[in-house]
Chain A
Amino acid sequence: SAVISQKPSRDICQRGTSLTIQCQVDSQVTMMFWYRQQPGQSLTLIATANQGSEATYESGFVIDKFPISRPNLTFSTLTVSNMSPEDSSIYLCSVKRLVGGSDEQFFGPGTRLTVL
Protein backbone atom coordinates (compact mmCIF):
# COMPACT_ATOMS: atom_id res chain seq x y z
CA SER A 1 0.00 0.00 0.00
CA ALA A 2 0.98 3.66 0.11
CA VAL A 3 0.79 6.10 2.98
CA ILE A 4 -0.35 9.48 1.74
CA SER A 5 -0.86 12.53 3.91
CA GLN A 6 -2.47 15.81 2.98
CA LYS A 7 -2.42 19.22 4.58
CA PRO A 8 -4.63 20.90 5.51
CA SER A 9 -7.34 18.34 6.19
CA ARG A 10 -9.95 21.05 5.88
CA ASP A 11 -10.21 24.80 5.49
CA ILE A 12 -12.78 27.53 5.17
CA CYS A 13 -11.70 30.32 2.84
CA GLN A 14 -12.97 33.61 1.58
CA ARG A 15 -13.91 34.24 -2.02
CA GLY A 16 -11.02 35.57 -4.10
CA THR A 17 -8.25 34.05 -1.98
CA SER A 18 -6.01 31.09 -2.81
CA LEU A 19 -5.24 27.88 -0.93
CA THR A 20 -2.30 25.55 -1.40
CA ILE A 21 -2.80 21.89 -0.55
CA GLN A 22 0.19 19.69 0.19
CA CYS A 23 0.53 15.99 -0.51
CA GLN A 24 3.29 13.82 0.96
CA VAL A 25 3.87 10.16 0.04
CA ASP A 26 5.85 7.66 2.12
CA SER A 27 8.04 6.57 -0.81
CA GLN A 28 9.02 7.72 -4.28
CA VAL A 29 6.42 7.56 -7.02
CA THR A 30 6.58 8.64 -10.64
CA MET A 31 3.04 9.83 -11.10
CA MET A 32 0.87 11.76 -8.69
CA PHE A 33 -2.70 12.73 -9.40
CA TRP A 34 -5.04 15.41 -8.11
CA TYR A 35 -8.79 14.79 -8.00
CA ARG A 36 -11.79 16.88 -7.06
CA GLN A 37 -14.92 15.48 -5.45
CA GLN A 38 -17.72 18.00 -5.47
CA PRO A 39 -20.49 17.58 -2.88
CA GLY A 40 -22.49 14.43 -3.52
CA GLN A 41 -20.61 13.66 -6.72
CA SER A 42 -17.93 11.34 -7.98
CA LEU A 43 -14.23 12.01 -8.37
CA THR A 44 -12.95 14.03 -11.30
CA LEU A 45 -9.31 14.04 -12.32
CA ILE A 46 -7.85 17.55 -12.34
CA ALA A 47 -4.31 16.83 -13.45
CA THR A 48 -1.41 14.41 -13.45
CA ALA A 49 1.82 15.66 -11.89
CA ASN A 50 5.12 14.14 -13.01
CA GLN A 51 8.37 15.12 -11.39
CA GLY A 52 10.54 17.30 -13.60
CA SER A 53 7.85 18.28 -16.06
CA GLU A 54 4.72 20.40 -16.20
CA ALA A 55 1.52 18.89 -14.99
CA THR A 56 -0.95 17.53 -17.54
CA TYR A 57 -4.43 18.97 -17.07
CA GLU A 58 -7.74 17.35 -17.94
CA SER A 59 -10.37 19.04 -20.03
CA GLY A 60 -12.03 21.81 -18.06
CA PHE A 61 -9.07 22.47 -15.78
CA VAL A 62 -6.35 25.05 -16.41
CA ILE A 63 -2.98 25.81 -14.90
CA ASP A 64 -3.87 29.39 -13.98
CA LYS A 65 -6.70 28.18 -11.77
CA PHE A 66 -5.01 25.03 -10.40
CA PRO A 67 -1.22 25.47 -10.46
CA ILE A 68 0.63 22.34 -9.40
CA SER A 69 4.17 21.84 -8.19
CA ARG A 70 6.10 18.56 -8.10
CA PRO A 71 9.54 19.35 -6.72
CA ASN A 72 10.51 15.73 -5.96
CA LEU A 73 9.26 12.15 -6.12
CA THR A 74 7.45 12.20 -2.78
CA PHE A 75 5.75 15.59 -2.68
CA SER A 76 3.30 17.73 -4.64
CA THR A 77 1.15 20.79 -4.10
CA LEU A 78 -2.11 21.90 -5.67
CA THR A 79 -3.18 25.53 -5.42
CA VAL A 80 -6.79 26.54 -5.86
CA SER A 81 -6.56 30.14 -7.05
CA ASN A 82 -9.00 33.02 -6.87
CA MET A 83 -11.55 30.81 -5.17
CA SER A 84 -15.30 31.01 -5.54
CA PRO A 85 -18.03 29.04 -3.75
CA GLU A 86 -18.13 26.66 -6.74
CA ASP A 87 -14.65 25.48 -5.73
CA SER A 88 -16.02 24.02 -2.49
CA SER A 89 -15.04 20.38 -2.78
CA ILE A 90 -12.87 17.65 -1.40
CA TYR A 91 -9.49 17.64 -3.11
CA LEU A 92 -7.65 14.32 -3.13
CA CYS A 93 -4.09 13.40 -3.92
CA SER A 94 -3.47 9.98 -5.41
CA VAL A 95 -0.53 7.83 -6.47
CA LYS A 96 -0.16 4.74 -8.60
CA ARG A 97 1.88 1.78 -7.44
CA LEU A 98 2.49 -1.73 -8.73
CA VAL A 99 0.82 -4.29 -6.47
CA GLY A 100 0.81 -8.00 -7.28
CA GLY A 101 1.71 -7.38 -10.92
CA SER A 102 -0.92 -4.75 -11.63
CA ASP A 103 -1.19 -1.02 -11.02
CA GLU A 104 -3.18 0.06 -8.03
CA GLN A 105 -4.12 3.61 -7.18
CA PHE A 106 -4.06 4.87 -3.60
CA PHE A 107 -5.71 8.00 -2.28
CA GLY A 108 -4.91 10.48 0.42
CA PRO A 109 -7.48 11.38 3.07
CA GLY A 110 -8.53 14.49 1.17
CA THR A 111 -8.73 18.20 1.90
CA ARG A 112 -12.24 19.47 2.50
CA LEU A 113 -12.47 23.03 1.20
CA THR A 114 -15.36 25.38 1.85
CA VAL A 115 -15.39 28.74 0.10
CA LEU A 116 -17.66 31.43 1.50
Chain B
Amino acid sequence: GDSVTQMEGPVTLSEEAFLTINCTYTATGYPSLFWYVQYPGEGLQLLLKATKADDKGSNKGFEATYRKETTSFHLEKGSVQVSDSAVYFCALVDEKLTFGTGTRLTIIP
Protein backbone atom coordinates (compact mmCIF):
# COMPACT_ATOMS: atom_id res chain seq x y z
CA GLY B 1 0.00 0.00 0.00
CA ASP B 2 0.88 3.66 0.00
CA SER B 3 3.42 4.89 2.52
CA VAL B 4 5.35 8.01 3.47
CA THR B 5 8.81 7.96 5.01
CA GLN B 6 9.84 11.11 6.74
CA MET B 7 13.05 12.35 8.28
CA GLU B 8 12.98 11.56 11.96
CA GLY B 9 13.37 14.30 14.46
CA PRO B 10 13.58 16.13 16.57
CA VAL B 11 15.40 18.80 14.60
CA THR B 12 16.86 21.82 16.37
CA LEU B 13 18.19 24.78 14.41
CA SER B 14 19.28 28.32 15.12
CA GLU B 15 17.24 31.20 13.79
CA GLU B 16 18.06 32.08 10.15
CA ALA B 17 19.48 28.61 9.45
CA PHE B 18 18.59 26.66 6.32
CA LEU B 19 16.03 23.90 6.80
CA THR B 20 15.54 20.64 4.94
CA ILE B 21 13.13 17.94 6.08
CA ASN B 22 13.31 14.87 3.87
CA CYS B 23 10.24 13.00 2.68
CA THR B 24 9.97 10.06 0.31
CA TYR B 25 6.90 8.13 -0.67
CA THR B 26 5.66 4.87 -2.12
CA ALA B 27 2.45 4.83 -4.10
CA THR B 28 0.88 2.72 -6.80
CA GLY B 29 -0.86 5.62 -8.51
CA TYR B 30 -0.04 9.28 -9.07
CA PRO B 31 -0.72 10.89 -5.72
CA SER B 32 -0.92 14.49 -4.68
CA LEU B 33 1.65 15.41 -2.04
CA PHE B 34 1.28 17.66 0.98
CA TRP B 35 3.09 19.15 3.90
CA TYR B 36 0.99 19.80 6.97
CA VAL B 37 2.08 21.75 10.03
CA GLN B 38 0.90 21.46 13.62
CA TYR B 39 1.84 24.39 15.84
CA PRO B 40 1.95 23.84 19.61
CA GLY B 41 -1.56 23.42 20.99
CA GLU B 42 -3.21 23.82 17.60
CA GLY B 43 -4.79 21.63 14.95
CA LEU B 44 -3.30 20.44 11.70
CA GLN B 45 -2.96 23.00 8.91
CA LEU B 46 -2.08 22.53 5.29
CA LEU B 47 1.25 24.24 4.60
CA LEU B 48 1.70 23.50 0.89
CA LYS B 49 0.84 20.97 -1.76
CA ALA B 50 1.81 19.71 -5.21
CA THR B 51 -0.48 17.72 -7.43
CA LYS B 52 1.80 16.47 -10.21
CA ALA B 53 5.42 15.78 -11.05
CA ASP B 54 7.74 18.81 -11.07
CA ASP B 55 5.15 20.99 -9.35
CA LYS B 56 6.57 23.22 -6.64
CA GLY B 57 4.39 24.06 -3.67
CA SER B 58 5.26 27.11 -1.62
CA ASN B 59 3.88 29.02 1.36
CA LYS B 60 5.30 31.18 4.17
CA GLY B 61 8.81 30.86 2.73
CA PHE B 62 8.63 27.06 2.65
CA GLU B 63 9.02 25.14 -0.62
CA ALA B 64 8.79 21.54 -1.76
CA THR B 65 9.11 20.08 -5.25
CA TYR B 66 7.33 16.93 -6.40
CA ARG B 67 10.13 14.70 -7.73
CA LYS B 68 8.69 11.64 -9.39
CA GLU B 69 12.07 10.19 -10.39
CA THR B 70 13.23 10.07 -6.78
CA THR B 71 9.72 9.78 -5.26
CA SER B 72 10.53 12.65 -2.94
CA PHE B 73 8.94 15.83 -1.65
CA HIS B 74 11.53 17.44 0.60
CA LEU B 75 10.54 20.53 2.57
CA GLU B 76 12.96 23.49 2.52
CA LYS B 77 13.18 26.98 3.92
CA GLY B 78 16.06 29.35 3.44
CA SER B 79 15.93 31.15 6.77
CA VAL B 80 13.88 29.75 9.63
CA GLN B 81 12.29 31.77 12.42
CA VAL B 82 11.40 30.92 15.99
CA SER B 83 7.74 30.98 14.94
CA ASP B 84 8.40 28.02 12.60
CA SER B 85 8.77 25.73 15.62
CA ALA B 86 6.15 23.05 15.07
CA VAL B 87 5.63 19.46 13.99
CA TYR B 88 5.70 18.94 10.22
CA PHE B 89 3.94 16.05 8.50
CA CYS B 90 4.50 14.90 4.95
CA ALA B 91 1.45 13.24 3.39
CA LEU B 92 0.11 11.86 0.17
CA VAL B 93 -3.37 11.23 -1.09
CA ASP B 94 -4.21 8.53 -3.57
CA GLU B 95 -7.45 6.96 -2.42
CA LYS B 96 -6.94 8.19 1.13
CA LEU B 97 -4.64 10.53 2.98
CA THR B 98 -1.52 8.82 4.34
CA PHE B 99 0.80 10.63 6.75
CA GLY B 100 4.44 10.32 7.60
CA THR B 101 5.47 10.06 11.24
CA GLY B 102 6.06 13.78 11.67
CA THR B 103 9.20 15.81 12.39
CA ARG B 104 9.36 18.08 15.39
CA LEU B 105 11.25 21.26 14.56
CA THR B 106 12.55 23.62 17.23
CA ILE B 107 14.13 26.93 16.31
CA ILE B 108 16.26 28.62 18.95
CA PRO B 109 16.96 32.36 18.93
Contact = CB atoms under 8 A, between A and B. Distances in A.
Note whether A and B form a binding pair: yes
B99 interface: yes
B43 A108 contact: yes
B97 A41 contact: no
B89 A105 contact: no
Summarize A's interface: helix, strand, loop or mixed. Answer: strand
Contact of B44 (A92, A102, A104): A92
Nearest to B44: A107
A106 interface: yes
A109 interface: yes
A86 interface: no
Nearest to B43: A109
Contacts of B49: 102, 104
Interface string A44-56: 0100100000000
A106 B100 contact: no
A62 interface: no
Contact of A42 (B32, B43, B51, B100): B100
Interface of A: 33, 41-43, 45, 48, 92, 94, 102-110
22 contacts: A33-B97, A41-B102, A42-B89, A42-B100, A42-B102, A43-B44, A45-B96, A45-B97, A48-B96, A92-B43, A92-B44, A102-B49, A103-B93, A104-B46, A106-B46, A107-B36, A107-B43, A107-B45, A108-B43, A109-B42, A109-B43, A110-B43
**Shortest beta-carbon contacts, A-B, top 6:** A109-B43, A107-B44, A42-B99, A42-B101, A102-B51, A43-B99
Given A92-B44, A107-B36, A107-B45, 13 more contacts: A41-B102, A43-B99, A45-B96, A45-B97, A102-B32, A103-B32, A103-B93, A104-B49, A105-B97, A106-B46, A108-B43, A110-B43, A110-B44
